[in-house]
Homo-oligomer: A and B are copies of this chain.
Amino acid sequence: MGEISCSNGIGNGNGVNGKTHSSLNGYRKSCWYEEEIEENLRWCFALNSILHTGASRYQDIALLDTKPFGKALIIDGKLQSAEVDEFIYHESLVHPALLHHSSPKTVFIMGGGEGSTAREILRHKTAVKVVMCDIDEEVVDFCKAYLVVNREAFCDPRLEVIINDARAELEIGKECYDVIIGDLADPIEGGPCYKLYTKAFYEHTVKPKLNRGGIFVTQAGPAGIFSHTEVFSCICNTLKQVFKYVVPYSAHIPSFADTWGWVMASDSPFTLSADELDSRIKQRIKGENRYLDGKTFSSASTLSKAVRKS
């Protein structure tokens, strides 16, 4: 998430008078961020500071400066992304789909208000137009204001930000896209995003808006050896009913305390070897990936026995 532009002097390691102090850790470990991963499982980060807090019509939002994972974006008490390892999530969400496409020019992001997904897409030289459609204007404004690492992306003329329900937007829109990316909250029954993970939605809303050869990819919740049964397997199986080719893959994200999953789907086959992926990365992506390369994707898309079987 990069640097914060304006700051209150917290956590810069300087004392009142700019003097440094050796045992500065003493009081700092007194402040903790605590997340309930599940009802019986907690994950706690020592805090440097609470940088910003806010709330929208839909959600509470906070930007914390944590000791183990740097700046962390929290929505409704759940970690969304952490400075030190959000690249794993966003590179995994964006690059496999765009790289497998022969020439991805237009991309639609469902959700993605944080801006990191757009940032990764905009690194692709082929990208001409990126539409980010998030329902929560305050989250988008919050991230625009405070996430310096995505500031350049938010200013990129190829990016169009729309505040709307992604489903409504896709349904009323006339345009089709080369790649559609789902960067939404997990499908909790009764939750706001539930309908954006159904067979009907994929079949009647998403698929018709893909250009020929188009690829759909979505984050797919936790994909750990136990947690994959929550939503990952289900999303994967749902997509298999709608698309001819479906590739699930996963990666361990330290700040999430779990392995995370994504699923990529298309009616065109995914045929690139690790070496071909590497060569497309070199040709098409500006800057260097920190996480994803050909071999990493090979490994990520070979699920472990227990996950594969269910």
> A-side interface residues toward B, CB under 8 Å?
1-5, 7-11, 14-17, 19-21, 23-35, 38-57, 60-64, 66-68, 70-71, 73-77, 81-86, 88, 138, 141-142, 145-150, 224-227, 251-252, 254, 257-259, 289-293, 295-296, 298-300, 302-306, 308
Contact = CB atoms under 8 A, between A and B. Distances in A.
Given A24-B60, A31-B47, 17 more contacts: A1-B63, A2-B149, A4-B52, A7-B8, A15-B138, A16-B141, A26-B77, A27-B76, A31-B34, A47-B50, A85-B226, A226-B254, A290-B305, A291-B306, A293-B305, A295-B308, A296-B302
A208 B299 CA distance: 34
A45 B73 CA distance: 22
Contacts of A83: 1-2
Leading 3 A-B pairs by shortest Cβ distance: A2-B149, A21-B55, A299-B302
Q: Is the interface of A mostly helix, strand, loop or mixed?
A: mixed
Contacts of A138: 15-17, 19
Counting every copy of the chain, the complex holds: 4
A308 B14 CA distance: 37
Nearest to A74: B27
Contact of A254 (B10, B88, B227): B227
B41 A41 contact: no
Contacts of A60: 21, 23-24, 26-28
